[in-house]
Amino acid sequence: MALGKVQRLALFEAIDDGFCIIKFIDGPHGPLSDYIHIEANSGYERHTGIRDIIGKRLREIEPDHADTWLDMYGKVLRTGEPVRFEQEFVAVGRHIEVSATRVGSVEMCQVSVLFRDVTQRKKTEAELRENVQRVQLAMAAGAIIGTWLWDIPSDRFRVDDGFANAFGFDAAKGRSGLTLAEVVESVHPDDRDGLARAVEQAVARGGAYAHQYRTRRQDGQYYWLEANGRVELMPDGTPSTFPGVLIDIEGRRNVEAERDSAIAALRSLNETLEQKVEERTTALLSAEEALRQAQKMEAVGQLTGGLAHDFNNILAGIGGSLELMKIRLAQGRIADIDRHLSGAQSAVKRAAALTQRLLAFSRRQTLDPKPSNLNQIVAGMHELIGRSVGPGIAVETVSAGGLWAAFVDVGQLENALLNLCLNARDAMPDGGKLMIETANRWLDDRTAAQRGVPAGQYVSLSVSDTGTGMSPDVVARAFDPFFTTKPIGQGTGLGLSMVYGFAGQSGGVVRIYSEVGKGTLVSIYLPRHLGEESLENLAPAEGPSPGASGRKTILVVDDEPLVRMVAVEILEELGYFVVEADDGVAALKVIAAHPDIDLLLTDVGLPNGMNGRQLADAVRAQRPDVPVLFVTGYAENAVLNHGHLERGMQVLTKPFAADVLARRVKELAGGEGHEPV
């Protein structure tokens, strides 16, 4: 009659051996690629050290050597033939002796395993083999110099003449018998404690013994030897005899000493080499830093050279126009002055545009960002772009439906788009196709890292052409200021650098994809704005300069006298009453005398400890409704809160035209003026 599960376990609990039943299961590695323990007795834990084995999988407890066990037990399952073997259980650091038998039919997928821990036996066998091999080698080499037999209960050492000579004893005394204490007395003082412990451990456990130490021989000198033996135990476990041999290892120890000396010398050499490598590395890093500095100076030289070239041309135009105006005034030829004046003004505008592009590249331009819809911006510029690129180039736009809003300076984005379109035109001298596309983009962590921006949602504006394309070397330098592939006089090399700086300052990035002969694609990625879209996406139409609708009082604050004089005269010509100050402290005194100020027009970068934003905050603390027009020469973004200005505040960039100043003042001040107080 077959035993039930409870009876079977009760039976196996009665034996000391470990017992378990395993069931093969399918796993990630394929059919029957794992097994689970479904039954086990308490002996399993005693022989393996693993607790609560029921329910655990093989690959859970022995992942690195699972295939070894699967092969052995799998063969038992497939063939039904019992097997008996010894195997190292690596996960628990033990050797076990195993008997395995299939349970029932192969369809049950079960194997019973009976085993015991034989780690100590394997260790003893290994020690014995090692000692036997050592003795055999020593005998073959003539290295055995003596033998002994120690009767442990009576503590009597009987040794041969070689042993006696090795310990400096009289041979006759050695044959008659020595005590352990007498033997140890001849051992080097530094080695006695170690020898005593080694002998004590060997006697306590039985089995193989091997130990090295120095003994004083008949010439009074100490020599190295190795003692090898085996402690024999009686059936009750009591130690009985301890036979062994002595092996001369003096020559080997000398070789080892020389080896240790060589290793020490090598280590010292390595340390010296490490020091030399460190010094060499420091020198290379210094050279690399010098190279970077040279490259930086080369880039600065290229930048300053380009600036000097362009500004010298502009200054030559301005200076020449002023000289001619002076000559014509002296000659009384007033009719010619207008032409020279227009030339000087045109040169000033070119200088302002050049400065703006440099600030854009360095991400220092003053931006006035607003929530904007890129589809509306592209639609508003379609006609201008078509006229600019000419009839030989077909312009197409692909506007994404449901396009997200972007928080961006509309005017600067329009400049960037026009720059890209003009570059595309120049790349298609024989005509071609220019396409402008907008799209919503999700950038994951990997893609965003490649583009150098945080992961998230972006709006893209792309301009592609069917032109000549660019080589990888040209693409790598395309964003460098004053770098251009156009002939001298046909490009400043600041167009793409301005787009690059503008995109970065707006929290985005610009990327170029190009191949020689296959055209170019330039994409601007701008972060998605989650607020409401602005209804003022298009730049206001240019018109004649508006005059003041009444006499309003305006406070002009600027530490540059010439700039302040120009602003004051322009505003006075428009009919405003103007008071002025050269820093924030003086401005607060003027406001105290004129509490009815209708508009504060202030430079951002003021001296003497109070900047323009701090001045505006101080004024608004007393008059929250006073409009403020900030004037700045470059992007003091931190001062201006990165474009997030309060209601009734605007920014005007230097240099400014009179009509632009008039329009901004009219927008902010409005209403009727009054007579000076």
- Among 199-208, 245-254, 490-499, 574-583, the least confident range: 490-499
Question: What 3-state DSSP class applies to 603?
Answer: strand
Quick one: average pLDDT of 643-654?
76
pLDDT confidence bin for 495, thresholds 50/70/90: low
Pairing of strands 599-603, 553-557: parallel
Q: Is residue 58 pLDDT above 80, yes or no?
A: yes
Class of residue 129 by CB neighbours under 10 A (exposed 0-12, middle 13-18, buried 19+): exposed
Tell how strand 405-408 and strand 432-443 pair up: unpaired
What average pLDDT score do residues 162-187 get?
Answer: 84
Task: Say whether pLDDT at 305 is over 60.
Answer: no
**HEC sequence for 260-303:** HHHHHHHHHHHHHHHHHHHHHHHHHHHHHHHHHHHHHHHHHHHH
What's the mean pLDDT in 546-555? 67
**Beta carbons of 545 and 658 less than 8 angstroms apart:** yes
Element (H, E) at 110: strand 110-117
Residue 545 pLDDT:
43
Distance of CA 78 to the CA centre of its chain: 52
Q: How confident is the model at residue 640 (pLDDT cuts 50, 70, 90)?
A: low
Residues 6+ apart with CB under 8 A from 288: none
> What is residue 65's DSSP assignment?
G
Q: How confident is the model at residue 143 (pLDDT cuts 50, 70, 90)?
A: low
Q: Tell whether the model's pLDDT for residue 372 goes beyond 80.
A: yes
Query: Rounded CA gap, 59 and 34, in Å?
Result: 7
Where residue 542 falls among pLDDT bands split at 50, 70, 90?
Answer: very low
Looking at residues 126-132, what average pLDDT do you find?
A: 66
The model's confidence at residue 494, banded by pLDDT at 50, 70 and 90, is: low
Strands 393-398, 599-603: parallel, antiparallel or unpaired by DSSP? Answer: unpaired
Question: Distance (Å, rounded) from C-alpha 398 to C-alpha 460?
Answer: 12
What is the rounded radius of gyration, in angstroms, for the C-alpha atoms of the chain?
Answer: 48
The burial of 531, by beta-carbon neighbours within 10 Å (0-12 exposed, 13-18 middle, 19 or more buried), is given as exposed
Query: 438 φ, ψ to 5°?
Result: -120, 150
Q: Which domains does the chain have, with CATH numbers?
A: 5-117 (3.30.450.20), 122-248 (3.30.450.20), 370-529 (3.30.565.10), 553-668 (3.40.50.2300)
> Which pLDDT tens digit goes with each residue over 188-217?
999 999 988 998 998 888 888 888 999 998
What pLDDT score was predicted for residue 72?
93
**What was the pLDDT predicted at 9?**
62
Q: Which amino acid is at 520?
A: T
Residue among 591, 581, 556 at smallest CA distance from 664: 556
- Listing from the earlier edge strand, what are the strands of the sheet with 144-151? 156-159, 144-151, 241-248, 222-231, 207-216
Q: Confidence band (pLDDT; 50, 70, 90) for 37?
A: very high
- pLDDT of residue 145 exceeding 50, the answer is yes
Cis peptide before 472 (omega within 30 of 0): no
Measured CA to CA, the distance from residue 413 to residue 404 in angstroms comes to 16
pLDDT at 70 over 90: yes
Range with lowest mean pLDDT among 381-395, 478-492, 640-654: 478-492
Q: How far apart are CA 279 and CA 273, in angstroms?
A: 10
Q: Where in 466-611 does DSSP place strands (E)?
A: 509-514, 520-529, 553-557, 577-581, 599-603
Please give the average per-residue pLDDT across 30-55, as a whole number: 91
Residue 660 has pLDDT above 90, yes or no: no
Write the CB contacts of 199 (distance below 8 Å, at least 6 apart in sequence). Answer: 180, 209, 211
Q: Locate all alpha helices (DSSP H) within 17-118, ordered by sequence.
A: 43-48, 58-61, 66-79
Give the range with max mean pLDDT: 120-134, 298-312, 533-547, 580-594: 580-594
Does 244 score more than 90 pLDDT? no
Q: Which residues pair with 105 in a beta bridge?
A: none
Taking every pair of Cα atoms in the chain, the longest distance, rounded to a whole number of angstroms, is: 145
Q: Regarding predicted confidence, which is higher, 341 or 64?
A: 64
Helix (H) or strand (E) holding 117: strand 110-117
Give, rounded to a whole angstrom, the gap between the first and last alpha carbons of the chain.
Answer: 124
Query: Per-residue pLDDT for 54 more than 90?
Result: yes
How distant, in Å, are the alpha carbons of 6, 307, 489, 600 from that of 346?
Answer: 105, 18, 17, 29
- Mean pLDDT of the region 42-62: 91
In this predicted structure, the answer to whether residue 653 has a pLDDT above a threshold of 50 is yes
Q: Among candidates 463, 466, 468, which has minimal Cα distance to 435?
A: 463
CA dihedral 273, 279, 282, 287 (to 10 degrees): -110
- Residue 162: pLDDT band (50, 70, 90) is confident
Please say if the pLDDT value at position 142 is more than 60.
no
Mean pLDDT, rounded, for 364-370:
65
CA dist list (Å): 649 to 182, 258, 412:
105, 86, 19
Of the CA atoms within 13 Å of residue 463, those in its CB half-sphere come to 25
Residue 549 has pLDDT above 50, yes or no: no
The answer for residues whose C-beta is within 8 angstroms of residue 27's C-beta and 6 or more apart is 33, 34, 57, 59
- Position 535 scores a pLDDT of 43
Q: Is 85 helix (H, G, I), strand (E, B) or coil?
A: strand
Cis peptide before 369 (omega within 30 of 0): no
Q: Is the pLDDT of residue 442 over 60?
A: yes
Average pLDDT (627-631) is 90
Do residues 613 and 631 make contact, with C-beta atoms less than 8 angstroms apart? no
pLDDT band at residue 463 using 50, 70 and 90 as cut-offs: very high
User: What is the SS3 assignment for 570?
Assistant: helix
Looking at beta carbons, which pairs linking 260-269 to residues 24 or more positions away fall under 8 Å?
none
Q: Distance between CA atoms of 247 and 143, rounded to whole angstroms?
A: 5
Alpha-helical runs (H) found in 550-657: 561-573, 584-593, 612-622
Write the DSSP symbol of residue 645. Answer: P
Q: Residue 219 — very low, low, confident or very high, per pLDDT cuts 50/70/90? A: confident
pLDDT at 465: 92
Q: What is the pLDDT of residue 311?
A: 63
The pLDDT value recorded for residue 262 is 77
Other Cβ atoms closer than 10 A to 5? 10
pLDDT: which is higher, 478 or 60: 60
Q: What is the mean pLDDT of the chain?
A: 80
Residue 547 DSSP label? P
pLDDT (mean) for 12-16 = 75
